[in-house]
Chains A and B, each alone.
Chain A
Amino acid sequence: MKSWRQIRHATLFLAAFTSTVAFVSHLSGYPEIGPLKEKLRYFERFKDNYEIVFIGSSRVYRGVIPTVFDDQMSSHGLSVKSFNFAMAGMKAHEANALVRRVLAMKPARLAWIIVEAGDWDPVIHKENRFKGRGIFWHDAPETWSALGSTLLLDDSLATRADLLTTHGLHFAARWLAVGRGPDAARSLFVQDKEPATDPLIAEWQGFKPYTESSYKYNPLRKRFLQNLDKYREAVTRLQPTEASRTAEATPRRSYSRPYNRAAVRGQIAMVRQAGVLPVHLITPTPRATPELDRLAREGHFQAHLAFNRPRAYPKLFEVERRFDHEHLTHEGALLFTRLLATRFATEVVTNDSDAVD
């Protein structure tokens, strides 16, 4: 009798708990993570206008201008509309969760997702733990993937246990709607039915140009200008390997790991299943990417566009077109976008008649 009562109480507790969590989650919507919420809101309204989306880190965010890309594509006789979903600091797992979210919106005309190729490293550094952004990409498939990658790391057992716990807690925090109360309360009590869209998103289609003050005060730019020799050295080091990229020097947690291959395969399968073609992009970074090159040679990518080639694209690596070591100035972004569109039109679209149809 007593144990039945206890079971009844436990059931009532769980029912009330889960229904409250579900209610809070339902009300709170997408969290405020940089410009992403605005971008998602905007894209959701106009999703059926787009054929192409770009997803990746700040290298894509500050480097690919959708309006320029579309113009260049039309010069190749292809009429497309694209949107830049990239955001500073976005790594592979987060990008993949975003890919999943974009596909879930079922944009009617979406034909290609151009995603920055990166490392599927499951490590979350201590300073980045339990931030809204890290929590939100921990949906079930992505957490599962990150847990699998963690198990395959060759770090100590303690490090792996810590990472497994961290991913598990991020997942739990997401599904228990931890910290989402203020957003839920806002949606309940503040009339915000049709929020104004950031005019910059409509104007630049998700791309964000650097401001005047960024050119003057950005610490990364300052450091870059003070250490131009290092940059030039990095570019010079990159050139000899360009013609014959080998996979000899494979750094830790690289694509050559089984989990990385599995993750890329999973991403491609997911995108393909939605009737969209995934294209992996390496931006004009002055770093060699032997693992990605090897993966490309082995045919793991569906389509692959690499721009970290100073010999092939010398202008992209000229100091005047660099904002800093990793990023391009506006002029550099214009050039990169045109080059990207040209390669995309000639190498990808022509080989993908299905997608063009």
Chain B
Amino acid sequence: MLFTQPIFFVFFAIVLTVVWTSRQNHHRKAALLAASYVFYAAWDWRFLSLIVASTLVDYMAVNGMKQCRLETSRRRWLQLSLVFNLGMLGFFKYFNFFVGHRVLEIVLPVGISFFTFQTMSYTIDVYRRRLEPAENWLDFALFVGFFPQLVAGPIVRAAHFLPQLERSPSFSSIQTRRFLTLFLVGFVKKTCIADNVAPYVDQVFADPGIFTAASVWIAVTFYAVQIYCDFSGYTDMAIACAGLLGYDLGRNFRFPYLASDLTEFWRRWHISLSAWLRDYLYIPLGGSRGSRLWTYRNLLLTMLLGGLWHGAAWTFVAWGGLHGAGLVLHKEWTRRSAHLHRIRGTLAFKLLGTAMTFYFVCCAWIFFRAQSFGDAAVLLKAFVWLDTGGTVALDMHLFAALLTLGLLHWISSQARLERFLDRLSGGSFAAGYGMATALALAFVPMRSAPFIYFQF
């Protein structure tokens, strides 16, 4: 069940009705948990047991920790949780990768990388005494299985979500207009943009050697557009659904392609994963507390593992490695160019930084999307050196589409649009929303592709 499918609208309408007609918070939460399990079972009912098992094990581990006085015993409970979650993730996602060839036909349960990271953060935080354990099993199960963010994030922290479950939200406090707009924006990003550029990307990445350098440029930049609109579109819809149900999931994207350096990019892209990797990997590895080289090592390691998190393939590791190297280079450049702080603050410098960052990010996306290192090399040669023996060309008008999309990205980053929407009367908003919904449907391609991040 995808957020863009008609069946989801029926499902969500039922959930909204049940949730907002329930008088007691406990009943609301029970209804939401049941709905979340139905939502997940619609993908593959067999894997529902994994979520239930993960929930039970972590709830048990945390309760075990609560009752222990000795640190060693508490650590054992943490180890149990980590071994279970990482074991599950390792088996379903990385077994064949680490064995080196396809030994077992393993189906990857959708969203496993997201909900395992979410439950691990909970047990680690409780172990570190930074978080009070959940009040009851229902709250914890809902934290793990809450359907808007279950299959592709954002990776919500227990400290952010559990307190919300204790309160009983009222419908009048919901910013309906904001969340309806956000849902439509997400829908447009996914179906009208990502799904419409996907055929061009697929075409070139399937056989890159036969295309001209200009076509490769279009395909690679289109892929940057596709993955952003696909993933942030999903996140927008997830946040909007949760918001309409009375819960806040936090922000996952902040116009990442406007970042003027790579460090800023990672503060704007998949924010919940970056923060998770920072708090549970980079800092425990030592963060920036040691020497400069040690910091760089930690950064590189974190990004390599971040790459591996996305998928069991060396191309993902290379993508992570490239970003790690880029972050190291940026840190080193920042240190050495401290005396240039005046120039660094100018608009021209920032624009140059944005262009360079986007170019670097696109180069790295090549590894993320390519089927093999061979294909990646061909694409990179065309993208960087404009060198290709291919003759097949995509329509060059697509460059105009790219510029339009870039402009849209910038316009939507300006707060003016939100202010304009806020100022509209209820009637104008309703009419405008009706018109925008009809136009969005008109640009939905006949066949929508699944969300890219579902495979992670």
Q: Is the CB of A15 within 8 A of B427?
A: no
B408 interface residue (CB < 8 Å to A): no
Quick check: is A343 within 8 A (CB to CB) of the other chain? Answer: no
A76 → chain B closest CB, angstroms: 45
Chain B proximity mask over A101-122: 1 for CB below 8 Å, otherwise 0: 0000000000000000000000
Choose from B438, B443, B445, B446 the contact partner of A16 (Cβ within 8 Å).
Answer: B438
Residue in B closest to A176 when the chains form the complex, CB atoms: B441
Contact check, A177 vs B447: say whether CB atoms are below 8 A apart.
no
Q: B6 within 8 Å of A by Cβ? A: yes
Docked complex: B426-456 residues within 8 A CB-CB of A:
426-427, 429-435, 437-439, 441-447
Residue of A nearest to B440 (CB): A181
* Residues 91-150 of A at the B interface (beta carbon under 8 Å): 130-132, 135
Q: Which of A172, A179, A184 contacts B446 (CB 8 A)?
A: A179
A17 with B6, Cβ < 8 A, contacts A179-B442, A180-B442 known: no
User: Of the candidates A5, A16, A169, A181, which one forms a contact with B442 in the assembled complex, judged by CB atoms under 8 Å apart?
Assistant: A181
Contact B6 A132 (CB under 8 A): no
Tell me the chain B residues, 239-276 only, with Cβ under 8 Å from chain A: none
Q: Does A12 belong to the interface (CB within 8 Å)?
A: yes
Given contacts A13-B434, A14-B434, A16-B434, contact A177 B427 (CB under 8 A): no
Q: Which of A16, A24, A132 has the most CB of B within 10 A?
A: A16
Chain B: interface size category: 20 to 34
- Whether, in the assembled complex, A222 has its beta carbon less than 8 Å from a beta carbon of chain B, the answer is no
Q: Judging by beta carbons under 8 Å apart, are B443 and A179 in contact?
A: yes
Interface presence of A10 (CB below 8 A) = yes
- Give complex CA distance A8, B431 in Å: 10
Q: Is B6's CB under 8 angstroms from A182's CB?
A: no
Given contacts A131-B447, A177-B442, contact A16 B427 (CB under 8 A): no
Q: Are A131 and B426 in contact (CB under 8 A)?
A: no
Which residues 12-29 of A sit at the B interface, judged by CB distance below 8 A?
A: 12-21, 24
Interface residues of B in 358-387 (CB under 8 A from A): none
The distance in angstroms between the C-alpha atoms of A132 and B433, with both chains bound, is: 26
Q: Are A131 and B442 in contact (CB under 8 A)?
A: no
Question: Which residues of A (164-204) have their CB < 8 Å from a CB of B?
Answer: 169, 172, 176-182, 184
Distance to closest chain A CB from B175 (angstroms): 16
Q: Taking A15-B434, A135-B446 as contacts, is the C-beta distance between A181 and B427 under 8 angstroms?
A: no
Tell me the bound Cα distance from A253 to B237 in angstroms. 42
Given known contacts A131-B446, A179-B444, A179-B445, A9 and B430 CB-to-CB distance under 8 angstroms: yes
Q: Which of A13, A177, A182 contacts B431 (CB 8 A)?
A: A13
**B439 and A16 contact, CB distance less than 8 A:** no
Residue count of chain A within 8 Å CB distance of chain B: 29
Asked if residues A10 and B430 are in contact (CB atoms below 8 Å), the reply is yes
Tell me whether A130 and B438 are in contact in the complex, defined as CB-CB below 8 angstroms, given that A13-B431, A16-B432, A172-B6 are known contacts: no
Q: Check if B431 sits within 8 Å of A16, measured CB to CB.
A: yes
Once the chains are docked, how many angstroms separate the CA of A181 from the CA of B433? 17
The total of Cβ contacts below 8 Å across the A-B interface reads 72
With a cutoff of 8 Å between Cβ atoms, the chain B residues found around residue A182 in the complex are 443
Q: Is B441 touching A178 in the complex (CB atoms < 8 A)?
A: yes
With a cutoff of 8 Å between Cβ atoms, the chain A residues found around residue B447 in the complex are 130-131
Report Cα–Cα, A65/B439, bound state, in Å: 42
CB-CB under 8 A from A12, the residues of chain B are 427, 430-431, 434
Contact of A24 (CB < 8 Å), options: B427, B431, B442, B446: B442
Q: Do residues B434 and A169 form an inter-chain contact, with CB atoms below 8 A? A: no
Q: How far does the alpha carbon of A288 sit from the alpha carbon of B316 in the complex, in Å?
A: 56
CB A147 to nearest CB in B, in angstroms, measures 17
Please state if A24 and B430 are interface contacts (CB–CB under 8 Å): no
Least Cβ–Cβ distance between A130 and chain B, in angstroms: 5
**A135 vs B426: C-alpha distance in the bound complex, in angstroms?**
35
B192 CB, min distance to chain A CBs, angstroms: 8
Structural contact, A17 and B444, CB atoms closer than 8 A: no
- CA of A172 to CA of B10, assembled, Å: 14
Selected contact of A8 from candidates B427, B438, B439, CB within 8 Å: B427
Tell me which residues across on chain A come within 8 A of B443, comparing CB atoms.
179, 181-182
- Contact assessment for B438 and A21 in the assembled complex, using a CB-CB cutoff below 8 Å: yes
A16 to nearest B CB, angstroms? 3
Do A20 and B434 touch across chains, with their CB atoms under 8 A apart? Answer: yes
Cα separation A24 to B447 with both chains bound (whole Å) = 19
Mark B139-178 against chain A: 1 for CB-CB distance below 8 A, else 0: 0000000000000000000000000000000000000000
Instruction: State the CA gap A21–B439 with chains docked (Å).
Output: 8
How long is the Cα–Cα vector from A21 to B444 in the complex, in angstroms? 13
Bound CA span A13–B433, Å:
7
Give residues in A with beta carbon < 8 Å to B: 5, 8-10, 12-21, 24, 130-132, 135, 169, 172, 176-182, 184
A-B contact pairs, 15 of them (CB 8 A): A5-B426, A9-B429, A12-B427, A12-B431, A13-B434, A15-B431, A17-B435, A17-B438, A20-B439, A177-B442, A178-B444, A178-B446, A179-B445, A179-B446, A181-B439
Q: A17-B434, A19-B435, A177-B441 are in contact. List 5 more A-B contacts (CB 8 A).
A: A9-B426, A13-B433, A16-B435, A135-B446, A179-B442
Across the A-B interface, give the 5 residue pairs with the lowest CB-CB distance, nearest first.
A16-B434, A181-B442, A20-B438, A17-B434, A181-B443
